[in-house]
Amino acid sequence: MITALLLAAAAPGPIEAERAFARDAQRIGQWTAFRKYALPDAVLFTPQAMWAHDFLKGRKDPPKSFDWWATKSFISCDGRTGVNIGDAVTADGKPMSRFTTVWQKQEGGQWRWIYDASKPVGAGGLSARTVQAQVVRARCGKAPGAPVIPPQPLTEKQARTTPGDSGRGGSADKTLGWDWKVEKDGTRYFRVFLWTGTRYAQALYEKTPAE
C-alpha cells in the first residue's frame, strides 16, 4: 500500500496536466487543446452550463492562445482526481480571469477535464507564475460508505442528456467530491469536499456572480 501511494505521488498529477494543457494551447491552438483534453461529458459555462464539445465544435483557434497556470490543487487520496484553481492572462499578457478545472485520470494514464469555469480576476490581481502551486490532498483510509456530502456522480443516463443547471461528481476512492449549480440569472456556485479521515470537510467554495 505504501509503495502504491509513493508511486502515485511521483506520477504526473493534475498540476502537470494543467501545464500540459496550457502548453498544447500555445502549440496546437487554443480550442483544439480544449477539445483534446475534454471528456465527452465535460461542461463549461456561458454563463449557463453547456456541454463543452457542443460549445467547441467547429470553433476556430485564435491566432494566439491565452495562457494560464495552476496556483492550488485539491487532490483525492489515490491521486486520480484533482481540482485546480489558478490564473489566466490574455495572449498579450494582461490579467484575464481565475479558473477552476476538475481533472480525472483515465485508465490509459491520460488526464482529462470534466469541469471548466472562470471568473473575474478581482481586486487581488494575479498570483506570480513562478510561485509553486499549493497541494491539498485528501486523507487516505476507508470512508464509511458513500458520502452524504458531496452527492454521488451523475448516472450514465443523466450525463448523456443535458447538463441542466447543476452537476456533481466524486473520485473513485470517495475521498474527493464536487458539485456545482447555476441560477437562472447566471450566478454559479461550486464546492469541493475532501475526506479528512473522520468526515467530509468543505475545502473550496466559490460563488461567481452573474455578469
Note the CATH architecture for domain 2-208: Roll (3.10)
Higher pLDDT among residues 96 and 159, named by residue: 96
CA dist list (Å): 196 to 5, 59, 142, 165, 204? 17, 42, 11, 29, 14
How far is CA 82 from its chain centroid? 7
- Sorted by where each begins, the domain ranges of the chain are 2-208
pLDDT (tens digit per residue) in 76-93: 999 999 999 999 999 999
Q: What is the pLDDT of residue 43?
A: 95
pLDDT at residue 8 above 50?
A: no
Q: Tell me the three state secondary structure of residue 21.
A: helix
In 3D space, the residue among 115, 95, 90 whose CA is nearest the CA of residue 104 turns out to be 115
pLDDT (tens digit per residue) in 115-141: 999 998 865 667 767 678 999 999 987
**Whole-prediction pTM value?**
0.86
